[in-house]
Amino acid sequence: MLTRLFVSARFALPLRRIAILSLLCLAMPAIGHAADEPGWKAGLAKVVITPDTSVWLAGYGGRRAPEGKLHDLYMKAIALEDADGKRVVLITSDFQGVPKIMSDPVFDEVRDRFHLERDQIMFTFSHNHCGPRLGDDLVDYYPVDDEQVALVDAYTEKMVDLTVTLVGEALDDLKPAKLAQGKGTCTFAVNRRNNREADVPEIIASGKPLVGPVDHDVPILTVTRPDGSLAAVLFGYACHPTTLSFTYWCGDYPGFAQIEIEKQHPGAQAMFVNTCGGDQNPLPRRKVELCEKYGHMLAVGVEEALQQPLQSISPKLKTAFSYVDLDYLKSVTREELDAEINGGNELRARWAKRMLAKLDAGETLPTSYPYPVHAWRLGTEMLVIGQGAESVVDYSLRFKKEFGPGTWVMGYADDMISYIPSRRVWEEGGYEGGYSLYEYGRPAYRWAGDVEDRISATVHKLVAEVKE
């Protein structure tokens, strides 16, 4: 009825008035881009997290006291608010592994102070092996003494406070922005299960292909202010930050990439997420020059994506979160632990001693672990799947195929836990698929074979909940 009235009235207008109205229409912004129309707001914050005490570097299982730094370590946050005022915060960091005992207090505090529920905040870590140890991440992995335990506990507690402050600063910074996404590529990640590290230089030199699944996509999300300035670029890559194994603080290849992008775009905040690089390594490695080279290659991948036409993201947010219980194949028994105490492996002996103390105290060892899964829909154009721990690349490849263009699969979210094999990797066995759970302090050797099925069912349920 309204349409008919409008059409009749318009036809009734004299020709001269139609011409003036047409000119006015041409001068107005296109529908959907009016300056006063509610859009996205984005807020940014960052903080240096380089330890000023002798907290050891994380990873590799040894005694790794810091000798200095190549560059500072950072934790960064981006807060987004859609046209209806719904908010999310994504944290990225140069940590090797954020344990549940660190992220849970952050989520509780953020709920109390900023009213962000669990589905509205994601705490990612790059898995940087030139970053500091935290809380009970890989708790039995290192030959620690009491002093090291005290230093790590104090640092972890400080980081909980710093993370909550960082989230508050990102929320305080919320102001109008446009979001857009694109994709570049970068090729240095190698499937480390299918290519022997020692063989890689020769394979590359011979021009033969490396084998095994990889994900060389570099997804990007840009934040642009109304004056056209680039405020932030979030980018992802599926690869272990394990180029270096020395004892100087730095962000490994993601650190070098972020520094280069921020140099190229003064005033912009570069942020990195590891997109399911559980079985991917930067090869060859172990030299600072290679680390800088990989950082540069990734920055070039981001730059290439920035040069392409980017897809705008409409200002609408939907979020969902769930834990899914992942079963252990079998909880470790007292007999197995007794055997480990004198089995000749120091790491396993430390683990067995800790587990036996629990049993002696009357505790029952858990038979499963609560695994965190997120789904965030940004507009109709972008889907973020966030999943905990060291997920192998099959998850990223699978979900991108199942949910189509605009899908990001962020691994290393909220909780370090362990490696998370796909069914394929579980059946193959080996380090990421087999008997490595004790390294992470879990009360079992191995996951049950259905972890991919359980995670996938949860991802599909959450994606349906955030359907546009």
Which amino acid is it at 267? Answer: G
Considering beta carbons, is residue 140 or 390 the nearer one to Zn ion? 390
Site string for Zn ion, 351-390 (x = CB under 5 A): ---------------------------------------x
Shortest distance in whole angstroms from residue 184 CB to Zn ion: 24
Which of positions 384-423 make contact with Zn ion (CB under 5 A)?
390
Residues 6+ apart with CB under 8 A from 28: 34
CA distance 446 to 386: 23
Shortest distance in whole angstroms from residue 276 CB to Zn ion: 12
Which of positions 61-100 make contact with Zn ion (CB under 5 A)?
none
Shortest distance in whole angstroms from residue 56 CB to Zn ion: 16
Considering beta carbons, is residue 252 or 390 the nearer one to Zn ion? 390
Q: Do β-strands 407-410 and 382-387 pair in parallel, antiparallel, or remain unpaired?
A: parallel
Considering beta carbons, is residue 121 or 139 the nearer one to Zn ion? 139
Which residue in the block uniquely carries the two structure tokens 């362990």?
418
CA distance 47 to 72: 10
User: Quick check: 221 and 288 in contact, CB under 8 A?
Assistant: no
Considering beta carbons, is residue 390 or 415 the nearer one to Zn ion? 390
Q: What are phi and psi of 277, to 5 degrees?
A: -100, 30
Shortest distance in whole angstroms from residue 118 CB to Zn ion: 25
CA distance 94 to 422: 26
Helices 252-264 and 288-307 meet at what angle, rounded to 10? 50
User: Quick check: 46 and 166 in contact, CB under 8 A?
Assistant: yes
Q: Which of 215, 236, 279 is nearest to 422 (CA)?
A: 279
Shortest distance in whole angstroms from residue 432 CB to Zn ion: 8
Considering beta carbons, is residue 190 or 313 the nearer one to Zn ion? 190
Q: What are phi and psi of 264, to 5 degrees?
A: -65, -30
Shortest distance in whole angstroms from residue 240 CB to Zn ion: 5
Considering beta carbons, is residue 107 or 125 the nearer one to Zn ion? 125
The footprint of Zn ion on this chain (CB under 5 A) covers a number of residues equal to: 1
Considering beta carbons, is residue 137 or 390 the nearer one to Zn ion? 390
User: Quick check: 55 and 151 in contact, CB under 8 A?
Assistant: yes
Helices 334-341 and 346-360 meet at what angle, rounded to 10? 140
Number of C-alpha atoms within 13 angstroms, CB side, residue 410? 30
Shortest distance in whole angstroms from residue 366 CB to Zn ion: 22
Considering beta carbons, is residue 136 or 390 the nearer one to Zn ion? 390
Residue with the shortest CB distance to Zn ion: 390
Residues that bind Zn ion (CB under 5 A): 390
